[in-house]
Chains A and B, each alone.
Chain A
Amino acid sequence: MSGPVPLLYTRGVETYYGNIIALRGVDIAVFEGEIVTLIGANGAGKSTLMMTICGNPQARTGQIVFDGEDITHLPTHDIMSRSIAQSPEGRRIFPRMTVMENLQMGAMISKNGTFEEDLNRVFDLFPRLKERQHQRGGTLSGGEQQMLAIARALMSRPRLLLLDEPSLGLAPMVVKQIFQVIHELNRSEGLTVFLVEQNAFHALRLAHRGYVMVNGKITMTGTGAELLARPEVRAAYLEGGRQEAAQ
């Protein structure tokens, strides 16, 4: 590969759950400063790829390289202390910890004493969290939990942010707000984002590039606009209502 080296790339990654194959040789690349999205139907293996990058489960074959270092066989907590952060599927807020404690957990690996600064930054992005900082995570609404999950991931100042289905089960207004924040972070700070989404329309409009996954394989790739224009993508992932909105 000539040109710049990707911040993250995978080569021929295969992941199994027991004897069942979930990823069949996945190659993706994410360059510094990009928003890259991975779209696909339910069960295609999108979240499995996300978790495989984080080492849980580990890839059985293939290679995952972050920032020039092979991280394929590192334990999860080692991978996550290398400037990668994930806001996982289902948000996974610690329900019996306060919003503040959840954020402190996010800052666990950042040892450079910038906690106050990082805290103000995420409170600026999501003012709602500031109001709720003493409330327990489990009492937040779905949208607030999603904001908290992203804020928690940002607390460690990651170079690469992995976002797994941030729009799942949220009201359109909230989805719009969250995508706006992602766009803003990328534009103003150059944050690299790898976004897994079922909401293909929003994701492809936001992303610089996209991949389409079917049955554990990458079947298509291109810029967000290119993929949005492909008839197969429109047919498979964009329902009528959203198509009209795209016009």
Chain B
Amino acid sequence: MEYFVQQLINGVTLGSIYGLIAIGYTMVYGIIGMINFAHGDIFMVGAFIALTVFLIMLAIGVTALPLILLIVLIVAMLFTSVWGWAVERIAYRPLRGSFRLAPLITAIGMSIALQNFVQLTQGARVKPLPPQIQGGVTLMQGDAETGAIVVQLSYMQIIIIVTTVVLMTAFSLLIAKTELGRAQRACEQDPKMASLLGVNVDRTISLTFVMGAALAAVAGVMFLLYYGVIDFYIGFLAGVKAFTAAVLGGIGSLPGAMLGGLAIGLIETFWSGYFSVEYKDVAAFSILAITLIFLPSGLLGKPEVEKV
């Protein structure tokens, strides 16, 4: 029981990170119908920006942890957004109206370019960050006689889960209630009509990339704090997992991305906990394959047919 609860906590934590990245995939797919394969690398860039800011803050002697965290989050979101915006501007916008595969190819190109850029400027070795947030809350006491283990909810995990819940709530409200969110949904459903109502479609698409990148940056900060090491290659696997999460949840659906992220995080954690760590990726991707066979539009995806 204790073991199960501990795995559950770990799974939700990991799932939160995947969910944050998955939103970027699903939103971009929703609005322009392309998979932004460079999104995982935007997440990686976010983690590097966060690391840089952390080290600067530590070097100039800022010690108040909440302050550091806040500044790191804000700066990482800002700068990563600029990267996300630039990628759209350089690699996707000039190809709008071109054939469907063209932006997919430039997306892969952008992914390679970002990885190599970071590798060249930051070096190929893993970059460590000394643990910043330690300790936690003990939920269940271990019992030596029965061999049960201690269930711990670390402060780091609390921060990750709370931040994710807060951001996703804020984000869902933004999409559902604000004028910007409505404009985004309008562009998703019928860009031509949206422009006939005075919506600047190009700008709305740019903003979608910016928002996706900002959330990926938050995921980058969390990843850095949670694992303590990053390298130029983390974007690939995390990106593929988050993409899987988006497809599993139903690509184009925001709650789907969150749910899919959670599902992938849990599947992976439980598989490693009960079966084998080596095959956790196989487990995650198998679930994806099975879902797609029986539920082609994902868990919460909308079916293709629609009466208009």
Contacts and interface: CB of A to CB of B under 8 A. Distances in A.
Contacts, number: 69
A148 interface: no
B199 A108 contact: yes
B185 A94 contact: yes
A105 B183 CA distance: 7
B8 to A, nearest CB: 34
Contacts of B179: 104, 108
Identify whether the interface residues of B are mostly helix, strand, loop, or mixed.
helix
B186 A105 contact: yes
Contacts of B302: 96
Contact of B186 (A80, A85, A97): A97
A97 B198 contact: no
A92 B199 contact: no
A6 interface: no
Most buried by A among B182, B195, B196, B308: B196
B190 interface: yes
B185 A80 contact: no
A46 interface: no
Given A94-B189, A94-B190, A104-B182, A109 B197 contact: yes
Contact of A80 (B182, B183, B197): B197
A27 to B, nearest CB: 24
A92 B191 CA distance: 10
A25 interface: no
Interface string B184-223: 0110011011111111110000000000000000000000
B189 A77 contact: no
Given A94-B186, A95-B306, A138-B307, A54 B197 contact: no
Chain A interface category by residue count: 20 to 34
A88 interface: yes
A133 to B, nearest CB: 15
Contacts of A106: 197
Contact of A77 (B185, B190, B200, B308): B200
A92 B193 contact: yes
B201 A77 contact: yes
Contacts of B201: 77
Given A95-B308, A138-B307, A138-B308, A76 B186 contact: no
B185 to A, nearest CB: 6
A37 interface: no
Nearest to A109: B198
Nearest to A54: B196
Contacts of B199: 77, 105, 108
Contacts of B197: 80, 85, 105-106, 108-109, 152, 156
Interface string B32-55: 000000000000000000000000
B195 A88 contact: no
A88 B189 CA distance: 15
Contacts of A101: 182, 185
Contact of A95 (B189, B192, B194, B196): B189
A108 B182 CA distance: 9
Contacts of A96: 185, 189, 302
B255 to A, nearest CB: 14
Given A76-B196, A96-B302, 19 more contacts: A56-B196, A76-B195, A77-B195, A77-B198, A81-B198, A86-B196, A92-B190, A93-B308, A95-B308, A96-B185, A97-B186, A101-B182, A104-B179, A105-B183, A105-B186, A108-B182, A138-B306, A139-B307, A156-B198
Interface of B: 179, 182-183, 185-186, 189-190, 192-201, 302, 306-308
Closest 5 CB pairs of A and B: A109-B198, A92-B193, A76-B195, A80-B198, A81-B198
9 contacts: A56-B192, A56-B196, A77-B199, A80-B196, A94-B190, A95-B306, A95-B308, A96-B302, A109-B198
